[in-house]
Structure 1
Amino acid sequence: MGKQARKKLRPVAAVTAVAVMALSALSVRAPSVAAATGPDTVQQNLNRLVRSDGLPAALASVTERAGRTRTYVAGVGDLATGSKVPRDGQVRIGSNTKTFTAVVVLQLVGEGRVGLDAPVDTYLPGLVRGEDIDGRHITVRQLLQHTSGLPNYTEHDDLQPRPYHPRDLLDIALRHKADFAPGAKWAYSNTNYVLAGLIAEKVTGRPLAQEIDRRIIQRLGLRHTYFPAPGDVTIREPHPHGYHRESANGPLRDITEMDPSWSWAAGQLISTNSDLNRFFSELLRGRLLPDAQLAQMRTTVPADYFGRGAGYGLGLVSRPLSCGGVYWGHGGSFPGYETRGGATEHGRRAAHIAVTTQPTDKTVMERVDATVDEALCP
C-alpha cells in the first residue's frame, strides 16, 4: 500500500484490541469484481466478499438519480447467534467523520468566523507547540487538507480502551517531531482533525457533537446518524457486529463494543450507508455549504494514499470512475468496520458499502472499491 501502509491493530489488555490505526480510507482501484452486469451485480459482489473472501458481513446502499435507494446485505450479523444482517444497519463510519467536521469548519468560514488561511494560533493561542511544531505557522486550510506536517497521534501510541478528551489526543501527537514543514507536502494525520474540531468548539462555544448534529444531521434528516458520547461503547440501533483478527489465520473476535472517544472529530460518528449517501449527495448539491466554500472543499491535491488518481480536498476525496469522471466521498476505518463510497457530480448517484472487519488483504479492498465503482457506473 505504499508509504502510507495501513497500521495494524495492536493488542491491549486481555479482552480487546487497541483502537490504533490510520482512521483512513486506503484503497487501490481494481478494474472489476464480477463479470455479471445488471441490477444484481452489487448483490453478487457482496456475496463474493462473504463466501470467497471470508468477511462476516457486507452491506450496501445505492441511491439512483431519481432518489430511489436499494439496500443489500450478505453474510451474518452476529457470528455467535447466526442472526441476519440488518438491512441498512448502523456501523462505525470512521474517517467519514472528517467530512462532517470539515463541513462545520467551512460553514464557520462562510459565516466569517473562521479564516481558512488564518493560523491555528488565531483560535487556539499557544496550544500547538512541539519539536518543529508551531501553531503560528499552521493554517486552518492545512489542517483540513492534511498538509500541516503534524504527526499522526494514532501512529505513535497504544491507545487504551477508556474515554479520552481531545486534548489528550493532541498531547500524544505533540510528544513527537513534525513530519515536515507546514505546506511542504501531503500526509494523512488524524491530529489535523482533532485540531479542526477544537477550533470549531472554541469559535462556537459548543461541543463539536452538538454542532454536527445541529448543522448537518438535523438539517438533512439523517435519522440514523449520531455522535456517541465518550464512554458509550454501544451502537444504538440494529447493527451487524464488528470483528477483528489478531493474525491472518486467527479467529474473528467480536469488538463491536468500544469506547470511540479516541477518534473524536477524526472518526467517532455512527451512521448507515443510506444516511451517508444522503449526506454526500446533499453536500455536493450545495445544501450544506455556500458555493465558495464548496469550491474550496473540492479543490484537491494529489493523494495516491487513497488510490491511483485520487485527490484530497478539505475533508473530501475524489476518485476516478471507470466510466469517466470522478466520485466524491471519504471512506472510513474503525476497528471492526470498513466503509467505502461516495456520490457522483451534483449528487446524482450515490453508493456506500460497509464490511464488518478490516480486511488485511489488499485484493479484498480492491474488490470493495470496485463494487462501489460498478454501483456508480450503471
Structure 2
Amino acid sequence: MRTGLTRSVTTLAAAVALVAGGAVSASAEQTPAAPDTGAVRAALQRVVDSGAPGAFAVIRDHGTPGLDRSLAIGKADLDGTPMDTDRRFRVGSNNKMFTSVLVMRLVEQGRIDLDKPLRDYLPEGTLPQDWPITARQVMEHRAGVYDHTNDLLEQSGEETTDAFEKRIRNNVYAPKDLVAMSVKHGLQYTPGGAYSYSNTGYVLMGMAAEHLTGRPYAELLREQIFKPLKLRQTSFTVPKKSITGPHITGYLTNDDRSKPLLDSTEQTASWIWSAGGVVSSASDLDRFVTALLAGSSGGLVSDDSLRQMASVIPTSTAKISYGLGLREITLSCGKVLGHGGIVQGYQTQTFSTPDGKRTVVLFANASNNGAVTQSLTNTLEPAFCSKTTASPAPRRSLTGNKKSSHSVPAVEDTRI
C-alpha cells in the first residue's frame, strides 16, 4: 500500500514532460496530425458570436511540440482586456477529475471499497441506512442521487441570474447541508439502473475523502495534487469569493436577454464545493490531465485505478460515455477523455487523447447561454481532428447551415 503523500515529484514532472505510454491506449507510437487551426479559430469565433466576451483553445502535443497551438478570440473582460490563455478561471465540473483522483488513491490504500455502501465511509447520518448506493455508482452518476443544484438554480430552464444573486454569490453552504437538500427528494431510481448527472454525488465523495483522512478537502487537493504537480495557478479557496492574481472575468448571461451580462466572477462556490469549486489555468489543467492519463508513471493514480476511471458506460447521449470522474467523447478521428465544466460566468472543456499525447483546453467567459456551450463543445472536433483525419462536413443548405454530423452534444447542464 502507498501513503497519499509519498509520490515522487520527479516522477510527476517527468510524466508531464514525456507522457510515456499512457495506460489506457495502445496507439502511443502514432504521431498525431496537426489540428485544423483555421477551423478552431472559426469555432471560437462562433462562441463569441453566440454571446461570450471571449474564448480560447490551448492545444498541447507532448510528443510533437511543434504542433502546439494557443488561439484566443475576444476579450477577457468587458473593459476591453484581450483574452489571455495564461490567466486563471473557475473550472466548474472539471473539479470532478480532481475529486476522483483523491478517491482512487484511497482505494489503492484499501481505505474505501468502491462496491460497498458509500454510507459506511461518510459521517454517521449523512445518508439513510437503507440507501444501498456505492461509491462506484455515485462516481458514474448512476446511483439515483438527486442533484441538489436543481433546488438552488431553479430546475425549470436557464433562469439563473436571479437565483445566482439570491442563493449563490454570497451564500455559504456546508457540504452536509447540500447533501441534505438532495436526500429529502429520495433516490430517483434503482441504483445502477440509469445515468443521471448529479453534482451531489461528488460532494459526497469529497465528504468521504475528508472523513476517511481526517483532513480538509482543500488540504488533500493541495498536498496530493497541486504541490506535487507544481500546479501554481490552481487553488481551492471555497468559500473565499475572489480569484487572486491575473484572472479572466466571468459573465452570467442575464435571464432578461435585453439586459447586459452580469459579472459573476466573485462567488463563494460553496454551493458546488468538491464538485466544481477549483480555480485553475489552461497550463495547469494540461499538466494535471497529462499526469492523470499517464497512470502509474504520472504519480497520481495507479494503472489499475486509471483503467477503472476510464472504463466508461454509455449514457443516453450519443457519442458520450462516462466512467469514474472521466467523460469519453467520440469524435470523427477517435475517442478523447476528460471532463467539461460550467460555473456561473465560466465554461471549460479539458480533454485528451487516451495516450495523453494531445490535450485540449477550451474556455469561454460566459454561461447561462446554451449557444455558447454548444459552440465551445463543437470546437473539440477541429482541435483534435485535422482536415485529413476528419470526415468531410456536409454541404450547406441554401436555406441555412446544416448541422455537422460531427457536432458534439453539449452534455453539461447549461444552467451551471
Q: Structure 1 length normalisation: TM-score?
A: 0.83
Is this contact kept in 2: 1:61–1:72, CA < 8 A? yes
Query: In the alignment, which of 378, 381, 387 is matched to residue 370 of structure 1?
Result: 378
Counterpart AA for 2:114: L
Give the structure 2 partner of residue 226 of structure 1. Answer: 235
Structure 1 segment 310-349 matched on structure 2, within 5 A: 310-323=320-333, 325-349=334-358
Is this contact kept in 1: 2:58–2:85, CA < 8 A? no
Is this contact kept in 2: 1:280–1:328, CA < 8 A? no
1:71-121 CA-partner distances (Å, limit 9, x unpaired): 222112221x22222332111110010110011000110111111112112
1:312-331 CA-partner distances (Å, limit 9, x unpaired): 100000000211x2000110
Shift of 1:359: 5.1
1:236 aligned counterpart, secondary structure: coil
Counterpart AA for 2:76: G
Query: In the alignment, which of 213, 225, 234 is matched to residue 222 of structure 2?
Result: 213
Counterpart AA for 1:142: Q
Counterpart AA for 1:144: M
2:355 aligned counterpart, secondary structure: helix
Shift of 1:40: 4.3
Bigger drift between 212-221 and 192-201 goes to: 212-221
CA distance in 1, matches of 2:152, 2:331: 37
Give the structure 1 partner of residue 18 of structure 2. Answer: none
Count of residues in Structure 1 that have an aligned counterpart in Structure 2: 332
2:351 aligned counterpart, secondary structure: strand
Distance 1:361 1:114, change over 3 A: closer
Is this contact kept in 2: 1:59–1:88, CA < 8 A? no
Give the structure 1 partner of residue 313 of structure 2. Answer: 301
Query: In the alignment, which of 144, 148, 155 is matched to residue 153 of structure 1?
Result: 148
Give the structure 1 partner of residue 133 of structure 2. Answer: 138
1:135-182 CA-partner distances (Å, limit 9, x unpaired): 4x1111111111111111111245342222111111111221221122
Counterpart AA for 1:241: T
Shift of 1:368: 1.5
Bigger drift between 275-284 and 198-207 goes to: 275-284
Counterpart AA for 2:44: L
Bigger drift between 171-180 and 327-336 goes to: 171-180
2:349 aligned counterpart, secondary structure: strand
CA distance in 2, matches of 1:361, 1:121: 36
Give the structure 2 partner of residue 74 of structure 1. Answer: 73
Is this contact kept in 1: 2:94–2:350, CA < 8 A? no
Is this contact kept in 1: 2:119–2:127, CA < 8 A? no
Counterpart AA for 2:138: L
Q: Structure 2 length normalisation: TM-score?
A: 0.76
Give the structure 1 partner of residue 159 of structure 2. Answer: none
Shift of 1:187: 0.8
Give the structure 2 partner of residue 59 of structure 1. Answer: 56
Is this contact kept in 2: 1:64–1:348, CA < 8 A? yes
Give the structure 2 partner of residue 19 of structure 1. Answer: none
Structure 1 segment 1-378 matched on structure 2, within 5 A: 38-50=36-48, 52-66=49-63, 68=65, 69-79=68-78, 81-124=79-122, 126-129=124-127, 134-135=130-131, 137-157=132-152, 159-160=167-168, 161-230=170-239, 232-244=240-252, 245-286=254-295, 287=298, 288-304=300-316, 307-323=317-333, 325-358=334-367, 360-362=369-371, 364-378=372-386
CA distance in 2, matches of 1:359, 1:157: 14
Give the structure 1 partner of residue 29 of structure 2. Answer: none
Is this contact kept in 2: 1:63–1:350, CA < 8 A? yes
Is this contact kept in 2: 1:320–1:327, CA < 8 A? yes
CA distance in 2, matches of 1:289, 1:332: 22
Is this contact kept in 2: 1:61–1:88, CA < 8 A? no
Distance 1:125 1:221, change over 3 A: closer
CA distance in 1, matches of 2:130, 2:275: 21
Shift of 1:366: 3.1
Q: Superposition RMSD on alpha carbons, in Å? A: 1.9
CA distance in 1, matches of 2:274, 2:36: 38
1:286-334 CA-partner distances (Å, limit 9, x unpaired): 1121111111111111124xx52211100000000211x2000110010
CA distance in 1, matches of 2:200, 2:301: 24
1:219 aligned counterpart, secondary structure: coil
Where structure 2 has 5 or more consecutive residues not aligned to the other structure, the ranges are: 1-34, 154-166, 387-416
Is this contact kept in 2: 1:71–1:88, CA < 8 A? no
Counterpart AA for 2:130: D
Counterpart AA for 2:314: P
Give the structure 2 partner of residue 13 of structure 1. Answer: none
CA distance in 1, matches of 2:244, 2:123: 38
Shift of 1:358: 1.2
Distance 1:38 1:292, change over 3 A: closer
Counterpart AA for 1:328: L
Where structure 1 has 5 or more consecutive residues not aligned to the other structure, the ranges are: 1-36
Is this contact kept in 1: 2:37–2:383, CA < 8 A? no
1:198 aligned counterpart, secondary structure: helix
1:184-218 CA-partner distances (Å, limit 9, x unpaired): 21111111111101110111110111111111112
CA distance in 2, matches of 1:156, 1:42: 36
Shift of 1:273: 1.7
Structure having the higher Rg: 2
Distance 1:320 1:139, change over 3 A: same
